Homo-oligomer: A and B are copies of this chain.
Amino acid sequence: MARIRLEDVAKIAGVSMKTVSNVVHDYPHVSPGMRERVQRVIDELGYRPNALGRRLATGKTGLLALAFADVSIPYFSELARVVSAAARSRGYRLLLEQTDGTLDGERAVLSESEAGLVDGVLFQPSVMSSTEIAKHRSDVPLVLLGEASAPLSVDHVMIDNIAAASEATQHLAALGRSRIGFVGHEEPRQSETSRQRLIGYQEGLEKAGLRLDMSLLLPSYAVSAEAAAQAVGAALERGLRFDALVCRDDLAAIGTLRALKERGFDVPRDVAVTGWDNISLTSYTYPSLTTIAADTAGLAEKALDMLSERIAGFEGLGRHTIVDYRLIPRESAPAAT
């Protein structure tokens, strides 16, 4: 059987389309008798409004795109979870867009060949420069997530990476550590994320009265647990010693834990370690990981607030919003006593 349309319902119920539409939308001005009669026909026929028709007519799709490198990266899957929940509570559904962290993938996000599919886009770029983002005269409302620097024209929400990295570093210093390294940034060209965290690390050292020792910077060939494990392992093999490590993210920290334990170093006794992102497993590693937790729920709300305003027509300059974070002390670098 062909699908039932609004018009069919109207015809069979012997009323106009408008009336059926009113009933479907629970409009106030419908007489009870009419409402009941129409509703019965709707139920009998099993009528379901067609989403596309409505969307075409209203110009709103009720869809938002969430774009980032890869959902299987724990931070992003957590982000997807909270954004999806927050979006739903606002009546939106979420389209998942993976860029694989490639320039082409990121370009595809902004230069959609088809317009009108989504009402707005939340995008966490990995590699695209802010000038390139600015150039894409996007017709669709956009809010940027994460550390990459955003053009003046677009909204942006992030945490204060420098302050957080500084806090992590000082946390380690407060434990009496003095040879504090940094693990997991890219070489030779860092992502903006790594760059900011490195700056914060350096700032933290200064505040703690420690000197930056370039040899304690342990870059890794990729942003992954494996790469970090290798970087830390190689450093230990060549005799480098340190008593604490600030890791770029939890994945790097997990790799670091492994590299240390494989070589008989105890965490936190010999080396204290901090991660970043508070991915769910950080409580269950052994030792559990001290980490920086961004307020992702707050981030999702802020981002959706701004996006909603853009969708509603706001045209002002880009707003830059900072959301909270906190350092969560766990076993790998407990709170100083």
A183 to B56 Cα, complex, angstroms:
52
State whether A72 touches B61 (Cβ < 8 A). no
A193-229 contact mask (Cβ, 8 Å, vs B): 1 or 0: 0000000000000000000000000000000011001
Counted per complex, copies of this chain come to 2
A129 to B63 Cα, complex, angstroms:
30
A261 to B331 Cα, complex, angstroms:
14
Query: Contacts of A112 on B, CB cut-off 8 Å?
Result: 48
Q: Is A115 an interface residue (CB 8 A)?
A: yes
Q: Is A49 an interface residue (CB 8 A)?
A: yes
A252 to B70 Cα, complex, angstroms:
24
Query: Which of A52-96 touch B at CB < 8 Å?
Result: 52-56, 61, 63, 66, 70-72, 74, 76-78, 80-81, 84-85, 88, 93-96
Interface residues on A, range: 35 or more
List residues of chain A with CB under 8 Å of any chain B CB: 3, 48-56, 61, 63, 66, 70-72, 74, 76-78, 80-81, 84-85, 88, 93-98, 112-117, 139, 225-226, 229, 251, 254-255, 257-258, 261-262, 280-281, 283-286
A-B contacts, 20 listed (Cβ < 8 Å): A3-B115, A3-B116, A3-B139, A48-B112, A49-B114, A49-B115, A50-B114, A50-B115, A51-B115, A52-B55, A71-B71, A71-B80, A72-B80, A72-B81, A80-B80, A88-B98, A95-B95, A225-B283, A258-B285, A258-B286
